[in-house]
């Protein structure tokens, strides 16, 4: 990750604070493993930005590194010149997240030689950024020392925001197959997604089946995928013919995504693949999600988009689940379930099995390939996005809870979740017509996803429990 750094300075405040503040911030970023792009002392006074001329130099530097810069940190070791800071950002034409940090004063050092006034200067900087139409984020505390544990948390949070914003802009999603007729709930607008820089590339399921039919059993790509499947999950009692079909399906999807530069996918399942290929795609999709190439079923494009946002924020695998059942009489608990294609990361133990629901209509022999087990306990972040054609925008919700150790006797991939105020959330979902699918990850990154999508992408988001 690379951050642009703007060091604020103002002439009638102690400018030695700008010098020490710049050096401290660069050291903090280096310790965090973050590259920094900042003016040097030879390019401006102490490498800070105070005048329009210095703003021009900073902007030119940022332009030259624009492809690498993920976000910008404005650090205010003293009051700072709010105009120069805003000018530097405007002239750079960067469209990245911005974090404003102000260094606190020390009560024993409030004389003319050490007084910062960053507390006040931060307000002026934010005022000008707002006037210039530049979105920005704030540290949890109004003033915070760069070398404090609190700022370390701010920096971790902000880095996540930068990953989500960069990862969702210019995203390419593969939609494999048509939306199942019985799933009106996952309808979406490609045009609204395109307006946020998200492209959907489609492939008809007939083309997938045609490519599979032309593949040889001994094809090297098929053999490699078959070996990966065997290493990934226990396949005892699974017919060899079914495993071979899964391997061919996986090889075709891999080739398609690579050839069309796709990052994530949404796949038709119910029930065309079972009837026309004779397997479910769950294991193939589970393997993709496990390797951080998120994949959602029922061509739920907005669902896989939420999976990807959580994965970018947490840098861990995410899954798409159903809000599926109550759990006894506890109003804050529910059962989240899928058939399943959950990544292995989610399970206590997992094995490959057949899809018990579809088997009743298409036959057990056509439904091998699910990943079955109980979801392990741990922290949970959840998210859902939806395109709203009537309002002409993208909306969604985020929140946090936990997967519990509560017992559960069922099939597929399932876990019990506990979410404070769950009934309020369920009311919100139903009142606003959201889908029954929700993305989840083992993390605490809901605030990251909310900040990235609301402030920098302009989506209408609800933060549950905030």
For the chain, give every domain's residue range. Answer: 2-168, 171-463
- The model's pLDDT over 319-358, given as tens digits with 9 standing for 90+, comes to 999 999 999 999 999 999 999 999 999 999 999 999 999 9
pLDDT grade for 437, boundaries at 50, 70 and 90: very high
Residue 266: pLDDT over 90: yes
**What average pLDDT does the structure give for the chain?**
97
Give residue 20's pLDDT.
97
7 forms beta bridges with 75
In the sheet with 171-176, reading across from the earlier edge strand, the strands are 198-203, 171-176, 264-267, 295-297
Give residue 11's pLDDT.
80
Angle (CA) 367 374 164, round 5°: 90
Give residue 447's pLDDT.
98
Residue 357's nearest CA partner among 331, 337, 376 is 337
pLDDT grade for 270, boundaries at 50, 70 and 90: confident
Cα-Cα end-to-end distance for the chain: 28
Taking the C-alpha atoms of residue 30 and residue 28, their distance in angstroms, rounded to an integer, is: 5
Give residue 110's pLDDT.
86
- The model's pLDDT over 106-158, given as tens digits with 9 standing for 90+, comes to 998 888 888 999 999 999 999 999 999 999 999 999 999 999 999 999 999 99
Domains 2-168 and 171-463 share a fold: no
- The model's pLDDT over 23-52, given as tens digits with 9 standing for 90+, comes to 999 999 999 999 999 999 999 999 999 999
Query: Looking at residues 157-184, what average pLDDT do you find?
Result: 96
Report the share of the chain in percent with pLDDT over 90.
96
Q: Decide: residue 286, CB within 10 A, 0-12 exposed, 13-18 middle, 19+ buried.
A: buried
Give residue 466's pLDDT.
83
- For residue 94, report the phi and psi dihedrals to the nearest 5 degrees: -75, 140
> Tell me, which fold does domain 171-463 have in CATH?
L-fucose Isomerase; Chain A, domain 2 (3.40.275)
> Tell me, which fold does domain 2-168 have in CATH?
Rossmann fold (3.40.50)
pLDDT grade for 414, boundaries at 50, 70 and 90: very high
- The model's pLDDT over 355-398, given as tens digits with 9 standing for 90+, comes to 999 999 999 999 999 999 999 999 999 999 999 999 999 999 99
Taking the C-alpha atoms of residue 383 and residue 137, their distance in angstroms, rounded to an integer, is: 20
Report the share of the chain in percent with pLDDT over 70.
100
Cα–chain center distance at 170: 14
């Amino acid at each position: 990750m690379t951050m642009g750094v703007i060091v604020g300075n103002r002439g009638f405040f102690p400018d030695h604070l700008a010098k020490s503040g710049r050096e401290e911030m660069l050291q903090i970023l280096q310790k965090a493993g973050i590259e920094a792009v900042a003016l040097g002392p030879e390019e401006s006074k102490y490498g800070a930005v105070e005048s329009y001329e210095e703003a021009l130099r900073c902007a030119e530097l940022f332009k030259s590194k624009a492809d690498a810069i993920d976000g910008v940190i404005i650090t205010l070791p003293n009051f700072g010149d709010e105009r120069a800071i805003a000018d530097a950002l405007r002239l750079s034409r960067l469209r990245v997240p911005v974090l404003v940090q102000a260094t606190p004063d020390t009560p024993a050092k409030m004389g003319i030689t050490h007084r910062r006034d960053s507390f006040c200067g931060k307000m002026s900087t934010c005022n000008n950024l707002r006037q210039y139409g530049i979105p920005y984020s704030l540290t949890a505390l109004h003033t915070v020392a760069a070398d404090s544990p609190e700022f370390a948390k701010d920096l971790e949070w902000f880095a996540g925001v930068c990953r989500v914003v960069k990862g969702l802009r210019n995203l390419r999603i593969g939609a494999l197959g048509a939306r199942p007729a019985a799933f009106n709930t996952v309808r979406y607008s490609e045009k609204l997604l395109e307006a946020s820089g998200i492209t959907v590339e489609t492939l008809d399921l007939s083309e997938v089946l045609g490519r599979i039919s032309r593949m040889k059993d001994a094809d090297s790509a098929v053999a490699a995928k078959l070996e990966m499947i065997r290493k990934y999950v226990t396949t005892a009692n699974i017919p060899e013919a079914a495993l071979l079909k899964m391997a061919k399906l996986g090889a075709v999807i891999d080739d398609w995504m690579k050839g069309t530069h796709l990052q994530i996918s949404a796949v038709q399942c119910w029930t065309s693949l079972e009837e026309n290929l004779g397997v479910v795609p769950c294991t193939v999709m589970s393997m993709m999600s496990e390797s951080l190439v998120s994949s959602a079923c029922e061509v739920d494009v907005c669902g896989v988009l939420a999976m990807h946002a959580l994965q970018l924020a947490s840098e861990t695998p995410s899954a798409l689940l159903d809000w599926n059942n109550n759990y006894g009489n506890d109003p804050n608990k529910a059962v989240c379930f899928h058939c399943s294609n959950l990544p292995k990361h989610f399970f206590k133990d997992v094995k490959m099995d057949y899809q018990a629901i579809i088997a009743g209509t298409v036959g057990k022999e056509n439904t091998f390939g699910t990943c079955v087990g109980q979801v392990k306990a741990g922290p949970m972040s959840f998210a859902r996005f939806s395109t709203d054609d009537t309002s002409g925008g993208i909306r969604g919700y985020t929140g946090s809870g936990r997967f519990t150790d509560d017992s559960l006797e069922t099939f597929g991939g399932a876990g019990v979740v506990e979410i404070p105020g769950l009934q309020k959330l369920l009311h919100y979902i139903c009142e606003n017509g959201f889908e029954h699918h929700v993305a989840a990850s083992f993390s605490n990154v809901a605030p990251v996803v909310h900040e990235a999508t609301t402030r920098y992408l302009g989506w209408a988001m609800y933060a549950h429990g905030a």
